[in-house]
Amino acid sequence: MNEEANIVPVTEPERQNHYIGEVAKLLRAREKSLQRKLTCYIATFGCQMNARDSEKLLGILKAVGYVETEDERSADLVLMNTCTVRDNADQRVYGRLGVLKGYKQEHPDMLIGLCGCMMQEPSVIEKIQKSYPHVDLIFGTHNIYKLAELLYRLLTEQRPVIEILDHADTVVEDIPTERKYPFKSGVNIMFGCDKFCSYCIVPYVRGRERSREMDDILCEIRRLADSGVIEVMLLGQNVNSYGKHCRKEVDFATLLKEVEKIEGISRIRFMTPHPQDFSDDVISVIRDSEKICRHIHLPLQSGSSRILKLMNRHYTKESYLQLAEKIRKQIPDVAITTDIIVGFPTETEEDIEDTLDVIRKVGFDNAFTFIYSKRTGTPAASMDGQVSEAFIKEQFARVLQLVQETSKVRAQGLEGQVTDVLVEEINEHDPNLLTGRMSNNLLVHFPADPALIGKIVPVRLAECKGFYYLGVLQNN
């Protein structure tokens, strides 16, 4: 080990580049023995941040020599990037682990790894060690960049490897990444969250806020543009608070303006802002921009000021409505989407009425509606007044119905218009159609040549189907 310590770099990313080379040597020897390439499969749960993390994980795996496969059953390495925002995500992971146990019995050399938010909970690690001993590798959210180093330990020590860090002080740049789409990409601008909403586990598993330096972000986006990317999504748990810990004074509005200057980038999206920090400067930048998409995801969670206070959201029903009105007034063509939680502790029908009132007044273009999920370790989990399943089921149905009604009305207002659409892929249900995305994030399906994938084209919105459109390609 002393000899190794003398040659292994201490700084990043040089250290990980070293281990990428070492693992590649080990895999080449294995490939020679098997007379085939080794394969990997990544299952991703959760948000866009997790999806972006999985692109980094895949980039590292490809750099060491793995070939991606869609056949989980026969993969040499299966890696699950987990989410723990809601209990059903946890249960899906445990269910998959049971299935993987059978696959590993058929394929004893299969390596099984777990990473992501769920792994930051000590009780989860204990359960996996006790009930799922066929798992070979466990790591969390703060050391995803160390995958090659962890694989090296796993392959050379021949025993399970577990490495969970409590926090991360730095952001490691220049890690290999394999994008899902060649023409669009997520870009992390910050990590972690300082809000500590009473129901949310994210600050505990993702850590405190850490912003990337703006120059590093801009350099990454320029490289993406040079490689053919035309749309970027700026990612963070709360993008509005970007820049608070950067070496130079900077904020989210400034970053947006600088990204807009980059040649080759045609569309800019961001996810997710927090209503408390949504500044007038950001609204003005979006209003005046030719590149920032007309879509703002503005999580509401509840329309009741009483519940919002219990949630530790730092805004009221009234202030949220004022913000939404200001956004609609300054950016009339913007689509506003949201998140809503039903069944928070002590919630009453009166609180639900407040939520329904906000839905009617804002007229959301879409909403992701969730049943409250108790997360151990959060303040809400120990609150008195947990509500009944019968109440939740009834109120959830009311909220969902109104969301569907209002979003359909919003979407129908676009019927007959011609709008620019970024063509993303062949439609998964009908290979004769392409699927694209409007600036406001609505999907459009239309017949056209697959050669248009990755291009922005004009499409007439012929028929509204509620949450999507059937369209007709227009001649340029």
DSSP letter, residue 18 = H
Residue 174 lies in a domain: no
Phi, psi dihedrals of residue 302, rounded to the nearest 5°: -155, 150
pLDDT at 440: 97
Low-confidence residues of the chain, pLDDT below 70? 1-6, 476
Look at residue 1 in the predicted model and tell me its pLDDT: 44
223 with 80, same domain: the answer is no
Within a domain: 172? no
6 lies in the same domain as 154: yes
Domain enclosing residue 61, as ranges: 2-163
Look up residue 271 and give its two tokens. 């996810």
Angstrom distance (rounded) from CA 385 to CA 383: 6
The reply to whether the predicted model has a pTM over 0.95 is: no
How much is the pLDDT for 439? 98
Bridge partners (DSSP) of residue 339 are 368
- Domain CATH for 346: 3.30.750.200
Tell me, yes or no, whether 22 and 147 share the same domain: yes
Distance between CA 249 and CA 259 in Å, rounded? 16
| Together in a domain, 38 and 157 | yes
Q: 């502790």: which residue's tokens?
A: 345
Please indicate, yes or no, if residue 37 is contained in any of the structural domains.
yes
Whether residue 147 sits in one domain with residue 205: no
**98-115 confidence digits (pLDDT tens):** 999 999 999 999 999 999
Domain holding 202: CATH number? 3.30.750.210
At 141, give phi and psi (nearest 5°): -85, -25
CATH of the domain at 115: 3.40.50.12160
In a domain, 168, yes or no: no
Cα–Cα distance between 296 and 287 in angstroms, integer?
Answer: 12
Q: Using alpha carbons, select from 452, 451, 476, 449 the residue that is nearest to residue 460.
A: 476
Last residue of a domain, one of 244, 268, 293: 293
Q: What's the one-letter identity of residue 285?
A: V
126 & 255 share domain? no
pLDDT of residue 6: 58
The β-bridge partners of 456 are 422
Residues 29 and 155 in one domain: yes
Q: Is residue 170 part of a domain?
A: no
Helix (H, G, I), strand (E, B) or coil at 261: coil
pLDDT at 2: 46
pLDDT of residue 476: 60
313: in domain = yes
**Residues 6 or more apart whose Cβ sits within 8 Å of residue 201:** 84, 85, 117, 121, 375, 377, 378
CA-wise closest residue to 56 among 3, 133, 128, 115: 115
CB 256 within 8 Å of CB 268:
yes
CB distance 91 to 118 below 8 Å: no
Q: Which of 364, 391, 412 is the last residue of a domain?
A: 412
pLDDT of residue 168: 77
> Based on the structure, what is the number of domains in the chain?
4
Does some domain include residue 212? yes
pLDDT in tens, 368-389: 999 999 998 899 999 999 999 9
With a CB cutoff of 8 Å and minimum separation 6, the contacts of 188 are 49, 52, 171, 212, 235, 236
Q: What is the C-alpha separation between 324 and 396, in angstroms, rounded?
A: 23
192 and 75, same domain (yes or no): no
Q: Does 324 share its domain with 228?
A: no
Same domain, 140 and 223: no
Please tell me whether residues 134 and 236 are part of one structural domain: no
156 and 7 fall within a common domain = yes
Listed residue (226, 251, 225, 248) closest to 236, CA to CA: 251
